[in-house]
């Protein structure tokens, strides 16, 4: 089965080398920062929400290959989804990386399944889930709303 893990590894390395959606989003309406002190990963996630639908997602930051690849695949996966669909996907992804997703459900995650191997490495679980936690924080922190806070 080494060819499968090699394939997974090459997907992660590809996304680390040339991550998708790696840019600062000027017209996003939600944003959050995330940090994983265990590894030193840091990233910012931007979202453009149209009502309940995620129109666009982007990120920037520095970190290890796992966190960058995860952010690349996460931003790709949530684009076009509604908030409940994306939250359900996060739940399934989180169960995957913590080794709690039944084997027959792994394929339903598509490319995100490349992270199934991290469940054996607790430190790496944090790297893979950081972009998703940051995404969730962005969903709950509309940038517009924050700017509208009255200045005391
Ligand atoms: Zn990391």
pLDDT value, residue 79 = 97
CA of 134 to the centre of ligand 1 (A): 14
Q: Which fold has domain 3-147?
A: Sufe protein. Chain: A (3.90.1010)
pLDDT at 5: 73
pLDDT number for residue 142: 64
- Which residues have CB under 8 Å from 144's CB, separation 6+? 29
Tell the residue number behind the tokens 């998708």, with chain if given: 20
Q: Answer whether 0.95 is exceeded by the pTM.
A: no
pLDDT along the chain (152 residues), means of 10: 68 94 95 95 96 96 95 98 96 96 92 91 93 95 52 48
CA of 29 from ligand 1 middle (Å) equals 27
Q: How far apart are CA 140 and CA 30, in angstroms?
A: 8
pLDDT of residue 6: 75
For residue 9, the model assigns a pLDDT of 85
Q: Ligand 1 mean position to 63 CA, how many Å? A: 6
Dist. CA 50 → ligand 1 center (Å):
31
pLDDT, position 96 = 96
At residue 62, the 3 state secondary structure works out as: strand
Does residue 54 come out as left (phi exceeding 0), alpha (psi in the -120 to 50 range) or beta? Answer: beta
């Amino acid at each position: 089965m080494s060819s499968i893990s090699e394939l997974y590894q090459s997907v992660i390395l590809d996304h680390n080398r040339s991550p998708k959606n790696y840019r600062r989003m000027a017209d996003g309406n939600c944003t959050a920062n995330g940090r994983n002190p265990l590894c030193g990963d840091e990233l910012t996630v931007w979202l453009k929400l149209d009502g309940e639908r995620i129109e666009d997602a982007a990120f920037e930051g520095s970190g290890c290959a796992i966190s960058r690849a995860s952010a690349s695949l996460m931003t790709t996966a949530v684009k076009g989804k509604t908030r409940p669909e994306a939250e359900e996907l996060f739940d399934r992804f989180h169960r995957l990386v913590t080794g709690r997703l039944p084997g027959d459900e792994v394929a339903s995650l598509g490319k995100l399944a490349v992270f199934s191997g991290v469940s054996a490495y607790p430190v790496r679980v944090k790297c893979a889930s950081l972009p998703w936690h940051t995404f969730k924080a962005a969903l709950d922190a509309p940038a517009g709303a924050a700017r509208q806070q009255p200045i005391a």
